[in-house]
């Protein structure tokens, strides 16, 4: 199970700020990430999860309309 998670939310052109935090193991096999967008636009979201033995990375592109 991951012990650390990092997220980067950017405008898909230039890198955004990386936010990392420690996570605790839950009995359920799930992880919920929340982010509030204040502006409309297309954003790229990069998420990495790691522990002492492994690293997993995923990305998504979202279109936010406010």
- Ranges of each domain in the chain: 4-64
β-sheet with 41-50: strand ranges across: 18-22, 4-10, 41-50, 55-64
Confidence band of 2 (pLDDT split at 50, 70, 90) = confident
Q: What is the pLDDT of residue 10?
A: 94
Global confidence as pTM: 0.80
Residues 11-65: pLDDT tens digits?
999 988 899 999 887 777 777 788 899 999 999 999 999 999 999 999 999 999 9
Q: Which residues contact 15 (CB under 8 A, 6 or more apart)?
A: 8
Q: What is the dihedral of CA 40, 46, 51, 55, to 10 degrees?
A: 160
């Amino acid at each position: 199970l991951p012990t650390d998670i990092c997220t980067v939310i950017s405008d898909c052109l230039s890198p955004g700020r990386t936010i990392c935090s420690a996570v605790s193991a839950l009995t359920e096999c799930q992880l919920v990430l929340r982010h509030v967008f204040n502006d409309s636009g297309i954003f790229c979201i990069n998420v990495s999860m790691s522990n002492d033995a492994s690293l997993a990375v995923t990305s998504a592109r979202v279109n936010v309309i406010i």
